[in-house]
Each structure stands twice: as C-alpha cells, then as structure tokens.
C-alpha cells in the first residue's frame, strides 16, 4: 500500500489477490474482558480470575466473541478503506487458535483471497479475505475468512 | 428437552444428532446498537439514523458482530447446559441473512449436527451445532455452524 492508495477508498477494481493490509494494535485489559463478558458471555472463565484459574484457560481469558469484536474494530480503523465501508456478508470459517489474556496486544493482518462482481447487482462485488489476529508474540489468536460486499467503481 | 435434562449439565454422551435447544429472546434497542458500534464497529450505518437511512441498510442496523455477541448471550442463557460451559473451538460458517433493526426481538434455535470424541483428550469431545437467530417475524437474521468443546462423562 502506498500512502496515496491508503487515503482513497478502494473499489472492487482496485483490489487484487494477494494484497495485504494492516492495522494498529489494541491492548486487552482485564476490565474490558469482564465488561464484555458480563454483557454477552457471562461464564466464570471470562468474569473471574479465581474461577478462570481452574478452567481449561488457566486464567482469565477474553470471550471469543470479544476477540472477534476487537478484530472488527481493528479492521475498521486499519488501512483497508473500502468505498461504502466494511460490510460483511458472512464468514466461511473462524477459528480461535489461542486464548486472549489480559495484557495481550492484538493486531490484524488481512490478505485478499478472491474478488468477483455480483451477479445480481451491477454496482457491487464481493471479496473474500483472510483476517489473522496476532498477539504480541505474533501467535495467531483468531483466524477468519470473511466475505465482504464491495462497491464497483462508478463509470467516469 | 424434558425439565429434568434441562437442569442437569450435559456431557458428550447425552447429546444426539437432531436434538434441538431453545432460548429466551432479547430486544435490541437503538441505544444498544450505537453503544456496541461506538466501541467495536464505528461505521455511520451503525451509529447514526440519518447516515444509515442513506446506506444499503436503509436505517440504523446492528453491527453483525453485535448480533453475533447477542447470539452468544442467548446461547449461554438458553437450555443447552453443557458440563464445563459453552467453549467454542471455531465456526464452520456464519451468515448475516437479515439486518437487525431497533425494536427487533431475537431468539436462538440450536440443532445438534454431529458429535465425536476428541482424538487427543480422553475427557473431551467436540460437537457441531447449527445456531439460527430468528427475529420476531421468524426470519433468520444470523446462521452459524459452531464447533464446541464438550466434556465426556466421567467414569462412575
């Protein structure tokens, strides 16, 4: 990515298989883990250090859905700027490959896997990307293959 | 599900293909949509009614990751009570099939698709379930196929 392309929103025609995009990083705190869990995933290993120590996580760990939500925040703030925003049609898969613990710093790498025009909408296309969330040791914590709606470049 | 089985936590040996589980329902408010989006998916169509009216959603719509997080909350509070809690290994797929708008009431239906013992851990197994989130018109808003870690029943 050059600075110029990072500033302009991208259309389907700007994307190519193998392109990579990056994001900043987010540090995950124990308070954030517990707040998310209290609302969306109230299980002991996401809420309480002592209970979590006895669980298969071995300590307080973020809900996988919290990690997925943080992934989306990184994605929105990252350097893949799509015309029309980031609108997901779905995931082909998602794996939680490492637990996320308090103090972990997460960053996201995106690789374009496929692009195709929509069959039904002349102004739209679909791209498939692989998102890999890495922790501060560069261990993948979450991997997802996402299908995104992308606008086609309007005729000049 | 009988009342008796709903009260006892379930082990791998208690589960069978085709079993169905249900949850209560959650109403989604505009405030909740905006609060989630402000933290995890700050795009105009999830934050602002006027901007959303001009978007492909036609009005303020929940982030797909908000709907996914609500799905987890319904799942945790529902009648599938697994020994050891609900611990996901990953998703085989997830589709956002209808936008979720303020005032929508969501409920979750779960169907067991597969069960198998773990090859590496004698005390664990894996099940695959299909989760379908329905709105108040019984339209599917989100469909996901989830792989869950499940404990095996300890020897007596």
Comparing CB atoms, the residue among A45, A86, A95 nearest residue B90 is A95
Structure confidence at residue A7 (pLDDT):
65
Structure confidence at residue B142 (pLDDT):
98
Sign of CA dihedral A124, B59, A9, A69: negative
Eight-class DSSP state of A30? H
For tokens 């851990």, the residue is B121
| Helical (H) or strand (E) element with A32 | helix A30-40
Structure confidence at residue A1 (pLDDT):
46
Helices (H), chain B: 3-7, 30-40, 44-47, 49-53, 64-77
| ipTM score of complex | 0.93
pLDDT in tens, B70-95: 999 999 999 999 998 999 999 999 99
Q: Which residues of A touch B45 (CB under 8 A)?
A: 85
Ranges of beta strands (E only) in B77-139 are 87-96, 105-117, 124-134
Test mutation, B29, B58, B67, B73, chain A, max A CBs within 10 A: B73
Give the burial string for B27-36 (b: 16+ CB within 10 Å, else e).
ebeeebbbeb
The pTM score is 0.94
Helices (H) and strands (E) in chain A, counts: 5, 5
């Amino acid at each position: 990515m050059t600075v110029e392309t990072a500033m302009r929103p991208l259309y389907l025609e700007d994307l190519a298989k193998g392109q990579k995009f990056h994001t900043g990083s987010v540090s995950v705190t124990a308070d954030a883990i517990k707040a998310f869990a209290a609302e969306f995933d109230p299980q002991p290993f996401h809420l309480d250090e002592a209970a979590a120590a006895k669980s298969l996580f071995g300590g307080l760990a973020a809900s996988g859905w919290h990690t997925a939500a943080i992934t989306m925040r990184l994605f929105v703030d990252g350097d893949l700027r799509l015309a029309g925003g980031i609108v997901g049609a779905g995931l082909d898969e998602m794996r939680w490959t490492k637990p996320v613990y308090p103090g972990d710093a997460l960053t996201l790498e995106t690789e374009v896997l496929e692009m195709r025009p929509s069959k039904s909408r002349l102004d739209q296309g679909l791209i498939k990307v692989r998102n890999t969330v890495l922790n501060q040791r560069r261990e993948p914590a979450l991997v997802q293959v996402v299908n995104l709606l992308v606008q086609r470049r309007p005729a000049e």
